[in-house]
Amino acid sequence: MEAALPLAIFVIIALAAFLLLSAKKFVDYSRWSKHARFDLYPVPKEGSKKNEYGGSYYEENEWWEKGRSTSAVTELLDIGQEMFFIRKLFIHQRGLWYFSFLFHFGLYFLFGWSVLLLIGGLIYPCPEWFAVIIGIVGYIGFIIATIGCCGLLLRRIFSKSARINMTPIEYFNLFFLLAVLVTGIISWLWFADPIVIAHEVFTLSLVNVPPIVIAHLIMLGILLIYIPMSRMGHYVGKFFAFHGMWDNDPNTAGSKVEQNVIEMGKRQPKDHWAAPHTQA
């Protein structure tokens, strides 16, 4: 029991660290959100069906005199397709999409599974139907994430064009993920009930944990802390990246954009560029 308690605490700390480090990353990028325009069309929020072919309000004669039509719905639909289905990859690189989609979709299932486990652990013993749902979500998540992860790894190993610019750390990331997935499958299929373990972790009553489960939980914890600090934290970046290209709001008098421009003008960077023409 003495050995298991620190493990439970570590898992909880790792979960908290994942959320906090992700939030920190979000805040770090937010710091630079007042920036120049980088319009790139299609911009999904453009209304009047302009989003369908990539049009903008600049298509209107005297656009500033006309009401602008935007749609949060089309923007949400677009970002939803990117987040959940990785649409651009589907369109432009179908071969990679199959594995990437399975991997990411599997991770989404596992994220959902974790939330269900948290609930199931806290209301333990949970109703049987709820346990069945947890089981199904977990099975699907582990299976498709593992298939996707293996596919991505094999591609990185055997495809010359994919291999050429990979760094050792990028192989390590996928191997690490695979190790967590495989130990998870072994643990929950043959050695422990994830709902019981979740209950014991969240109530700090973890006892009698099989070695493979200990190994899985330690690796999972490290992974959760590592993800936001690595390139795997791109789930944070994707939000800013797409919104940077879609931020085409004009700088009109009294607008929020104008306020931002005024604030941007007050910046006093400590450095200056060195080329002589920049000093004049």
Residues 23-52 that bind other proteins (CB under 8 A): 29, 32-43, 46, 50
Of 28 and 193, the one with the shorter C-beta distance to other proteins is 28
Q: Is 143 in the site for other proteins (CB under 8 A)?
A: no
How far the first Cα of the chain sits from its last, in Å, is 71
Of 57 and 113, the one with the shorter C-beta distance to other proteins is 57
Of 4 and 145, the one with the shorter C-beta distance to other proteins is 145
Quick one: which segment of 6-14, 112-120, 167-175, 220-228 binds other proteins (CB under 8 A)?
Answer: 167-175
Q: Of 210, 167, 66, give the one whose Cα is nearest residue 58.
A: 66
- What would the x/- binding string for other proteins be over residues 261 to 280, using CB under 8 A? xx-xx-x-xxxxxxxxxx--
Q: Is 234 in the site for other proteins (CB under 8 A)?
A: yes
Contact between 239 and 233 (Cβ < 8 Å) = no
Q: Is 158 in the site for other proteins (CB under 8 A)?
A: no
Q: How far is the CB of 238 from other proteins (least distance, A)?
A: 5
Cα–Cα distance, 136 to 29 (Å, whole number): 36
Q: Is 58 in the site for other proteins (CB under 8 A)?
A: yes
Contact between 82 and 238 (Cβ < 8 Å) = yes
Q: How far is the CB of 25 from other proteins (least distance, A)?
A: 9
Question: Which one of residues 4, 7, 86, 201 is an interface residue with other proteins (CB under 8 A)?
Answer: 86
**Residue 33 has which token pair?**
């959100």
Of 50 and 216, the one with the shorter C-beta distance to other proteins is 50
Q: Which of residues 100-129 bind other proteins (CB under 8 A)?
A: 100
Question: Which one of residues 6, 19, 93, 136 is an interface residue with other proteins (CB under 8 A)?
Answer: 93
Cα–Cα distance, 7 to 73 (Å, whole number): 44
Of 193 and 263, the one with the shorter C-beta distance to other proteins is 263
Quick one: which segment of 124-132, 133-141, 211-219, 247-255 binds other proteins (CB under 8 A)?
Answer: 247-255
Q: Is 94 in the site for other proteins (CB under 8 A)?
A: no
Whether a cis peptide bond, with omega within 30° of 0, leads into 125 is yes
Q: Is 211 in the site for other proteins (CB under 8 A)?
A: no
Cα–Cα distance, 84 to 109 (Å, whole number): 11
Burial 59-90 (b: 16+ CB within 10 A, else e): ebeeeeeeebebbeebbeebbeebeeebeebe
φ, ψ for residue 209, nearest 5 deg: -95, 125
Angle of the 194-202 helix axis to the 4-30 helix axis, nearest 10: 80
Cα–Cα distance, 248 to 70 (Å, whole number): 11
Cα–Cα distance, 262 to 158 (Å, whole number): 52
**Residue 140 has which token pair?**
């699907």
For other proteins, how many residues bind (rule: CB under 8 A)?
A: 81
Of 81 and 135, the one with the shorter C-beta distance to other proteins is 81
**Tokens 């910046």 sit at which residue?**
267
Question: Which one of residues 22, 143, 150, 170 is an interface residue with other proteins (CB under 8 A)?
Answer: 170
